[in-house]
Amino acid sequence: MSLFLIAALPFLGAVFPALLIRAGRNASASAAGMTTFLAFVGLLINAPAVMRGEVVTARVDWLPGLGLNANFYLDGLGFLFAGLILGIGLLIILYARFYLSRQDPMGQFYTYLLLFQGAMVGIVLSDNILLLLVFWELTSLSSFLLIGYWKHLPEGRQGARMALAVTGSGGLAMIGGMLILGNIVGSYDLTVILQNKELIQASPLYLPALILILLGAFTKSAQFPFHFWLPHAMAAPTPVSAYLHSATMVKAGLFLMARMWPVLAGTDAWFYIVATTGLITMVVGAVIALFKDDLKALLAFSTVSHLGLITMLLGFGTKIAAVAAIFHIINHATFKAALFMSAGIIDHETHTRDIKRLGGLRHLMPITFGIAAIAALSMAGLPPLNGFLSKEMMLEETVHTTWLNSPYLVPGFALLGALFSAAYSFRYIAHVFLGPERGDYPAHPHDPPVGLWLAPAFLVLLVVLIGLNSATIVGPLVAVASDAVFGGGKPPYYSLKIWHGFTPALYMSLVATLGGVALLMGHRWLERIWNALPRPEAKVIFDSVIRALTGLSQTITNSLHNGVVSRYGMIFVVFTVGLAYYAYATGTIGLPTRISLEAPLLPIIGWICLVGATLATVYFHRNRLLALVLIGVVGLIVSMAFNYLSAPDLALTQISVEVVTMILLLLSLNFMPTQTPVDSSMARKVRDTVISIVAGLGTGALVYALMMRDFAFPSISEFHLANSYKGGGGTNVVNVILVDFRGFDTFGEIIVLGIAALVIFALTESVLGTSVRARLLNRKPHWPQSGDAHPMMMVVVTRVMMPMALMVAAYIFFRGHNQPGGGFIAGLIAAIAYLMQYMASGFTWAAERQRFYYHATIGWGVLIAAATGLGAWFNKVPFLTSDYGYIHIPPFEEFEWATAMLFDTGVFLAVLGAVMLALESLSRFAWRPGIASEHPMDINPARDDPPEESTSVNTQEKES
């Protein structure tokens, strides 16, 4: 089975449990189980090749220019983790079917579980670090949904937020580290990165990349000091806890360290950071676990301890230590999943997880007792169970490890961690199952139906079988997975068996076991000391840090984002000027290679007018109407400049936009006072003046420097000039760029233009039902009004000009592919033709004669443009690729036909609809659809009730 299908199956199958929940809980669980089973079978199909040492690959170049390729590969390490994810996932699905109550939305649970499962499978199969990062963040998001599944529990919601905050923050750091790593190697493919150990470790960026990547791994695998989030995630249902702790989520960090081991391990930095963190986590987690009374909390901190053990082994940097880490990953997954399921059974049957309310369950729940006892003894590291074998290998490696020139520190602390590990394991058995039966259980204990204990019983069977015959059952898997961690080379000698003779590790194991028994016997006394000791509470620290960061963020946000646009502009301009100056001061610029041309008189006059109009706009900006006139002058001069500099397309577009914009802005002024308030002090005006002058001079200097120098590389315009006709079938390069070379940009622009018009419509729609409309209709004009609202001369002229303007628009549209013009300009010209009717005869008169809806016009424009682009797919070319040819229709001459004309039609309709919808929206404060023009709606400004008819307002509405 293809790796793509294996990775995609959980995501595809996530839809079915939610859909099938109406068919029953069994149907929903079966759908989830079948999806996972198919993916597991697909993985097993590739097992023979993997066990032979081969690597199965699947590659698709997605965005090769960015280094983002959808590449997957399956080696021994990926096979091991994918097998744990899918195999234990099957057991969790079975267990959850009988664990969840009828009040729990089971379809939703399985959907979340499969999304999480798919994200984990994606991580372990990814051959591209960018793709791995995508799946990495998906695990954080999907685990958030799983941990917070019981939304009615505050601790569930808080645990989900804590997990997301910690693992998400680490993921952000990891993104930076991975990008640095890809930059060092020059590739983001893992198979390439893993072959460049010397290059990576010789780079000065090795240490920053290492720290950032380890932050991601440590936060995900709950390493000290990020361990606190994992116990709070226990508010999730037990199936989630069992899955997170045994095969997923926390194992992602271990997988990352194992995957990157060939290129990151072997340095002092790796040893001291990874091994020390793992050792501290191992001891701290074990000590805390001994004094936890909640069954799941005890197991959660035990998971923290064992994760630290594996991290420590990977941190040693030796091959045999890596083998021990891989072996313990397998063993921990089996006994820890069984332990969590047994804790869930106890909670499910007794209605409590409090150890102090339990005890004496061995006779009442004999099956559960057998499962939990075997799993706990394996966790304690007792023979002949699998936990003993990997614990022995761990202790043996610590004996040969020196830390800060001391041969005793690492084995001493490791022995301490193993001792406490045995103690909390023994406590799990003794305080829950041994002792006399009690009469105050919250519910009468009894063994559950087979559906609840079958999955943990299977795992416990593996615990025993692996312990008795590990070389045969898991030996080959450990070998191929370890070889993938080494990255090749000669494997070390090791033996997966129970008896290795009288070794230091055996004596240390014996001490740990006896010490664990002693700690259990003195637990009550030790617990009083523990409770009396002052110690930091992780949740309190986390909440305090979050509150401090939130307060700091709010302070920064409120000081920068205070709603004053001028401040935003000032910050942006100052930062841009500073960045530009830094680039100029630290960079190099060659001498000018071009000579200055003598400026003719006409451009100088135009430049003086442009500068004068701009300065006048700034000076008279408080008078909004005058400022608008001056802005129109600026736009007109810019249009003339475009035409003078041989850019007729730009000149046509600019002048058309200028006319439409001026009319729309004039309408917008109806909603605002005629004078802007004085909102700036003299000091602020001086500051802003200085900033604007510096920015303006800097921009001018940059433009001058660019114009006076040749470029080392040819301009892209040469490509467009050479390929405009033969590639797009048009001689107007500007139009070919818009509808072909950069058609996707134009497509996005018309969508944005349509959205802007719809936003204007929504805003003015909200104004129609408020008292603002009444004040607008009944306000007194500031200037004397003309006696004739609709001059006959203007009405007659616009009637005559209407068909002429539309004909010009059609002419501009059809000539656009080879001459200045096109759909955008034609749409603006047609809009001006309609605007003239509104101006001459009033909004009500023109609206009554409207024959098409502007919303639909925008929609049809976007749909036609999109359909043109989709048509390219049927010819197996990229989206929006145009084509052209020549058609001869007798008796006409041969003429060119290009698909770009259809795209331009969409642009034309979108532009026309957007402009007219904006006009209608800004004009309709005096009119509502469905109300006859001879009986327009009037609003009494003194009340909010439905308006009465008023002659004065009626006249104003007609004139508007």
pLDDT mean over 556-583: 85
- Name the band, by pLDDT with cuts 50, 70 and 90, for residue 943: very low
- The pLDDT score that the predictor gives to residue 647 is 86
- The pLDDT score that the predictor gives to residue 535 is 74
Query: What are the counts of helices (DSSP H) followed by strands (DSSP E) for the chain?
Result: 43, 4
Counting residues of the chain whose pLDDT is more than 70, the rounded percentage is 92
DSSP 415-438: HHHHHHHHHHHHHHHHHHHSS---
What whole-number distance in Å separates Cα of residue 797 and Cα of residue 804?
A: 11
SS3 category, 475: helix
Q: Which of 475-484, 593-602, 816-825, 886-895 has the lowest mean pLDDT?
A: 886-895
What whole-number distance in Å separates Cα of residue 369 and Cα of residue 429?
A: 8
For residue 56, list its beta bridge partners: 74
SS3 category, 294: strand
Average pLDDT taken over every residue of the chain: 85
- The pLDDT score that the predictor gives to residue 115 is 94
What whole-number distance in Å separates Cα of residue 109 and Cα of residue 374?
A: 30
Q: Which two tokens stand for residue 296?
A: 């799941």
Helix (H) or strand (E) holding 887: strand 884-888
pLDDT mean over 578-588: 87
Q: Which of 549-553, 694-698, 933-937 has the lowest mean pLDDT?
A: 933-937
Domain ranges of the chain: 1-264, 267-521, 731-960
pLDDT mean over 185-191: 88
pLDDT mean over 901-906: 88
- The pLDDT score that the predictor gives to residue 785 is 63
pLDDT mean over 810-833: 87
| Contact predicate 250/303, CB 8 Å | yes
Residue at token pair 């061995």: 362
- The pLDDT score that the predictor gives to residue 705 is 87
Q: Which of 2-11, 281-290, 338-347, 831-840 has the lowest mean pLDDT?
A: 831-840
- The pLDDT score that the predictor gives to residue 936 is 33
Burial class (CB in 10 A: 0-12, 13-18, 19+), 643: middle
- The pLDDT score that the predictor gives to residue 282 is 94
pLDDT mean over 199-207: 92
pLDDT tens by residue, 837-884? 888 887 778 877 877 788 899 999 999 988 888 887 777 777 777 777
934 pLDDT above the threshold of 70: no
735 pLDDT above the threshold of 90: no
Largest CA distance in the chain: 114
Prediction pTM value: 0.71
